[in-house]
Structure 1
Amino acid sequence: MDDMYREIILDHYKNPSYKGELDPCDLSFEDENPLCGDHLKIFLRVNENGIVTDARFNGHGCAISQASADLVVESIIGKNVEDLKKMTKEDVLDLLGFEDLGPVRLKCALLSLKVLKGGIYGVKDAEE
């Protein structure tokens, strides 16, 4: 089963469905993981009811950070911004198919959550 998850990660890394920019967008935020150089920016369009109607990400980094961004962005379209504030690291790990990762890879996997919450809360360095 571990091989299946590796295939999913590689597929989202090589063929991301949500990579690009949204112009115009209602919310955007970017950050990086200085330990490995991963960089990520997330763009959201939100309607008057607080529902994410479209989302994209852009950036560069390892397969886990980029696959995580693609999966997170895919999972948030159609959800209320208030619900996204409740998103946890376990939610992201579930999307990736991992129960646990080592500390360095965990930072890669959670960069998308950090950037998403930074945009939603409108603060720099939002924590998971």
Structure 2
Amino acid sequence: MAQDDLYRTVVLERAKTPRHAGKLDIASLHAQGVNPLCGDRVNLHAQVDIHGRIGQVRHETRGCAICAASADLMAERVMGQDTAQVKRIHAALATAVETGEAPDGLGELSVFAPLHRHRSRIRCAMLPWSALIDMLNDDKDR
């Protein structure tokens, strides 16, 4: 399957049937991301243990398929990771969407690499990640 076809398949599947959508009954961290240019909005809820590892993440996403899919794949990918690991994944994804080259270890998130040809859509994919990074940074500042 070509990269563009895989992109379409994964994005549409995750947007239509997200695996990590909703709220957590008990969440230690919350964040919101908004893209005023297109109206995408994501609310994140996360459980973080005393060692700074993410236990669970859920998202409530209102927006395009790219934003919804990115939020769902993000929630899946960061569970069990600490802040430093999350920041490395975020940086690798940013590189992929900017250059079209997916670094090793990016896994299913590499489907967003074709966005380098659609610059206006990069923000859609990165919005959930920006909210997550802000949430984790705010937690360290407390």
> Which TM-score bucket, shorter chain as reference?
0.7 to 0.9
Tell me the secondary structure at the aligned position of residue 89 of structure 2. coil
Paired position in structure 2 for 1:98: 112
Q: Which moved more, 1:59-68 or 1:74-83?
A: 74-83
The percentage of counterpart residues that share the same residue type is 32
Q: For residue 79 of structure 1, what is the amino acid of its counterpart?
A: Q
Paired position in structure 2 for 1:53: 55
Deviation digits for residues 34-68 of structure 1 (CA, Å, limit 9, x no counterpart): 11000001111011221111110112000000000
Paired position in structure 2 for 1:13: 15
Aligned CA-pair RMSD: 1.8
Gaps in structure 1 of 5+ consecutive residues: 124-128
Does the Cα contact within 8 Å between 1:85 and 1:120 map onto a contact in 2? Answer: no
Does the Cα contact within 8 Å between 2:42 and 2:59 map onto a contact in 1? Answer: yes
Q: For residue 61 of structure 1, what is the amino acid of its counterpart?
A: G
Does the Cα contact within 8 Å between 1:57 and 1:70 map onto a contact in 2? Answer: yes
Tell me the secondary structure at the aligned position of residue 18 of structure 2. coil
Identify the structure with the greater helix proportion.
Answer: 2
Paired position in structure 2 for 1:31: 33
Aligned residue pairs, count: 123
Does the Cα contact within 8 Å between 1:50 and 1:82 map onto a contact in 2? Answer: no
Q: For residue 26 of structure 1, what is the amino acid of its counterpart?
A: S
Paired position in structure 2 for 1:81: 83
Asked which structure has the greater CA Rg, the reply is: 2
Normalised by the length of structure 1, the TM-score is: 0.87
Does the Cα contact within 8 Å between 1:9 and 1:63 map onto a contact in 2? Answer: yes
Gaps in structure 2 of 5+ consecutive residues: 103-108
Question: Structure 1 residue runs of 4+, over 6 Å off?
Answer: none
Whole-angstrom distance in 1 between the partners of 2:112 and 2:59: 22
Does the Cα contact within 8 Å between 2:41 and 2:62 map onto a contact in 1? Answer: yes
The counterpart of 2:123, out of the listed 91, 96, 107, is 107
